[in-house]
Amino acid sequence: MVSEMDPIASIKKEYINELVAQEKREDDRAFDEHRNIKIIPNYIKKAEGSAYVELGDTKVIVGVKYDAGKPFADIPNQGVMTTSAEFAPMASPEFESGPPGENAIELARVVDRGIRESEAIDTKKLCIIPGEKVYIVFVDIQILDNCGNLIDACGIAAITALLTARMPVYDKDGNPTEEMVPLPLNKIPITCTMVKVNNKLLLDPALDEEKVLDSRITVSTDDDGNIVAMQKGTGGSFKLEEIMEAVKISKEQGKKIREIIKNSIKEEESG
């Protein structure tokens, strides 16, 4: 993601490196602290599930829609989740119209794996008629304002949207009924991203920190503290100890974010 190394970028990099050496960040956060998180569950009424999320100034919306379709041949009795991300030109001067580029594809796949690999969704309960008809769950990510760390913002929005999602019950003949039930979710996996700057791990990088990063690592954990997905980002390298440190930070922070999500949903339902 590092763009042209122009003089200003160079000065910025020096400045942030120096801050980090003094154990500081531009916005005065601790190294293992996320920016402020604001969640509006059920933001899009037309979607079966949705969430609007602000992570600092970063703003994203995730919508969940259902369809019924054919299962994959090798898992005939399981529903399918599919995740897409659009880098709308609205969200950043660098984003362009057109089919998803490699950054959008990586984002969608990292968010997807963070949820899929935790087995949070009981895909067997998404089977309507074995081998013939299953639920297809579309998780669509829309970026409104890219101010850094899209992965965590979208991860939070995606799992919140799934938690709010209702799906129609099908009768024995495979026809949809009026009855709606929640999506069968049994975990709340959380995805946390850190960048290495001047040999320190900074959680939840803001845009400027992203621009000067040496390397990036993402760790997804579940409610039981298991690691369910990891991804080192483009460029740079990590020592094994740094990876294990990132895992610990992610587990800790995952707990906090899990609570924030639960509370936001509770508030929305009661309010």
Partner 1 sequence: MKRGDGRKKDELRNVRMEVGVLKRADGSAYVEWGNNKVFASVYGPREVIPRFLARNDRAILRCKYNMTPFSVEDRKRPGPDRRSVEIGKVTAGALEPAVILETYPNSMINVNIEVMQADAGTRCAGITAATLALVDAGIPMRDLVSACAAGKANDGIILDLSKEEDNKGQADIPMAIMPRSEEVTLLQMDGILTEDELEEALKLAVGGCKSIYELQKNALMAKYGE
Summarize as ranges the residues that interact with partner 1 (CB under 8 A): 4-5, 43-47, 50, 57, 59, 61, 63-65, 67, 84, 86, 88-93, 97, 99-100, 102-103, 105-106, 108-109, 113, 116-119, 138, 140, 142, 144-147, 217, 222, 225-240, 243-244, 247-248, 251
Are the C-beta atoms of 148 and 56 separated by less than 8 Å? yes
Q: Which is nearer to partner 1, 239 or 255 (CB)?
A: 239
CB of 215 to partner 1, least distance (A): 8
Q: Which is nearer to partner 1, 91 or 202 (CB)?
A: 91
Q: Which is nearer to partner 1, 140 or 152 (CB)?
A: 140
Q: Which is nearer to partner 1, 90 or 180 (CB)?
A: 90
CB of 58 to partner 1, least distance (A): 9
CB of 135 to partner 1, least distance (A): 13
- What is the token pair recorded at 64? 């969940």
Which of 46, 146, 40 is CA-nearest to residue 86? 146
Q: Which is nearer to partner 1, 89 or 266 (CB)?
A: 89
- What is the token pair recorded at 75? 């898992």
In order of 40, 121, 139, the CA distances from 45 in angstroms are 12, 22, 15
CB of 219 to partner 1, least distance (A): 8
- Measured between alpha carbons, how far is 16 from 42 in angstroms, rounded to an integer? 37
CB of 22 to partner 1, least distance (A): 25
Which of 220-258 are b and which e, b meaning 16 or more Cβ less than 10 Å from the residue's Cβ? bbbeeeeebbbbebeeeebeeebeebbbebbbebbeebb
- What is the token pair recorded at 221? 């954990």
